[in-house]
Amino acid sequence: MNKNKSFRKYANDNKLKATNYEINYFNNTNGIRLNKYLSDAGICSRRQADKLIEDGEVLINGVVANVGDRVCEGMVVTYKDMVVKENLKKVIYAYNKPIGYVCTSKEADKDSIFNYTDFPVNVNYVGRLDKDSSGLLLLTNDGELSNSIQKSRNNHEKEYRVRVNKDVTDDFISNMSKPVPILDTKTKSCYVKKTGTRSFTIVLTQGLNRQIRRMCEYFGYRVVNLKRVRVLNIKLGDLRPGEYRELSKEEEKKLRSMIG
């Protein structure tokens, strides 16, 4: 048995974490960095991949990997007992999330969007919509793009149409546009416009947990319906609940230019 196979058997039998030296002894310095490999496969961003690797959740050829390891041709990368395959083509989908479904993995919840809709490639959602909300959700296998869109400091716009349980007043619209104290912080100032007796449009540049619902509750209102209709330059359009489409080349080009 050669040294490569011998070490792998020893490591697996003893559940050891391989050192960078031992992995690189087999891998040399060729190939793609493991965090980039995971990001390219649509698993997560590079930073999140480093955390998964540090936690021992990623294996290379059956051996627990280390941050900085590289993946060469013929090697098998596994995460959560599933083989991770590098995606050569980056895809971005616009998806209309139905009410009653959640943004999580298939295994985590029977009401996962991935149990409701089948996508042709492995993609992850960019940001979340809560179970009671509907509308535009971007999904992609480009981990870096996903991470960049979700960073609050980048001030990327997300537009929502909201209906509440009582008449919308001018004071309510004015107050909602200013910083609102929720979750031990204050929201960023935002654009809010009345669109009906009990409805309004709001454009956020951050994504706190159930932010719009909490903001409304602070002023004594309850959200009856919440739909996201735009993320940056991507609009929901006429997609029906559960439907998705791949972004056009023009949409993707503009989107990537906007996030830098």
Residue with tokens 């400091």: 153
Q: How far is CA 133 from CA 7, 102, 195, 234, in A?
A: 51, 9, 19, 18
Q: What are the start-end ranges of the H helices in 166-209?
A: 170-177
* Local structure of 209: helix, strand or coil: coil
Crossing angle (nearest 10°) for helices 143-150 and 46-54: 110
**Do residues 196 and 203 touch, judged by C-beta distance below 8 A?**
no
Can you read off the two tokens belonging to residue 123? 């993609």
- Nearest residue to 200 via CA among 158, 160, 162, 159: 162
Q: How far is CA 169 from CA 99, 164, 198, 212, 247, in A?
A: 27, 11, 9, 16, 38
Can you read off the two tokens belonging to residue 9? 């058997």
Q: Of the residues 55, 109, 118, 130, which is catalytic?
A: 130
Euclidean distance between CA atoms 120 and 139, whole angstroms:
12
Phi/psi at 3 (5° precision):
-65, -35
Query: Would you call 40 a catalytic residue per the annotation?
Result: no
Catalytic residues: 130
